Amino acid sequence: MSWRVIARREFDDSVRSRLLWGLVAVVAVMMAVTSIVPLAIPAMDASALMGLGAASEFAAMLVPIVALVAAYLAIAGERESGSLRLLLGLEPTRRRVVLGKFLGRGAVVAVGLAIGFVLASALSWVVYGGLPVGAFLAVLALTVGLGISFVGIAVGISAATPTRARAMTLGIASYLGLALLWDLLPQGAHLVVEGSPPGGSVPAWFLLLEGLSPSGAYSALVTRALSGADPALPGPEALLGGPVPVFLEWWVFVLVLVAWTVVPLLGGYWVFERADLN
């Protein structure tokens, strides 16, 4: 059995998940509502770009949930139920199993998030009277990329764990650590190094540390996409109060997203390849 067959089966099975599509619907509704929040702030000159920025900040918290729910049981669930032995009896290698499950679950998350994002942006189009196509497509691609990154994390966890309960525990821990609590690290480091909380401008290392999580890298890339579309929106130069060093270029944060996709996947495969499934 090839990885393509496994991926197709995973995609078909995931598409039937009511829980997954329910979460996608929640993401679409919350992003749509968040995108019009700038209109409620009288002092703000609201625009569609600001709406995209507000929606992306909410996406940084919600998209990982969708991806983790879609993929954390990809292997651990079948391993605990015993159906994984039947799958391996059809003679795919364990590498093909991991790759197929990642691609299948990643595809359904990408499709679901793209549909949700497009539906959410329809409200922005109506409310703001238009939508900047370039910035919209960039933020859409980055949102899908964030989802795929967390699919890689979830499948890696699922490959490395023998039970549903352990996979769920590690999935929750990864969400808390990477999507919710990571910002405490640069905040605490700034307090220790600089002697005060971050203010109007911050040192370059602070932005780098913020962007070393998947959600942080996503937010950094969205900021660049929006400030590139409208120089009036603050970019990294405004936060730094000067030129941007090479280690804060956009491609660095793309590599961060790629690393968070690939490294957990390879780590999970390494453990799975050596696991006794009997």
**201 and 239 Cβ atoms separated by less than 8 Å:** yes
Give the model's pLDDT for residue 270.
95
- Look up residue 163 and give its DSSP letter: S
| E strands, 84-241, in order | none
Percent of the chain whose pLDDT exceeds 90: 44
Tell me how many domains the chain contains.
1
Q: How far apart are CA 105 and CA 12, in angstroms?
A: 9
Give the model's pLDDT for residue 44.
65
Q: What is the pTM of this model?
A: 0.92
| pLDDT tens digits, one per residue of 164-200 | 999 999 999 999 999 989 989 999 998 888 877 887 7
| pLDDT tens digits, one per residue of 211-249 | 999 999 999 999 999 988 888 788 888 888 778 899 999
Q: Is the pLDDT of residue 45 over 80?
A: no
- The mean of the pLDDT values for the chain is 88
Give the model's pLDDT for residue 145.
96
* DSSP secondary structure, 84-139, as one string: HHHHHHT---HHHHHHHHHHHHHHHHHHHHHHHHHHHHHHHHHHHT---HHHHHHH
Q: How far apart are CA 163 and CA 142, in angstroms?
A: 32
Structure tokens at 99: 């790759």
Mean pLDDT in residue range 244-262 = 95
Give the model's pLDDT for residue 23.
83
Q: List the domain range (segments joined by +) for residue 174.
A: 3-274
Give the model's pLDDT for residue 126.
84
Q: Is the pLDDT of residue 1 over 70?
A: no
**210 and 223 Cβ atoms separated by less than 8 Å:** no
Give the model's pLDDT for residue 177.
93
Give the model's pLDDT for residue 86.
76
Mean pLDDT in residue range 4-17 = 82
Mean pLDDT in residue range 83-90 = 75
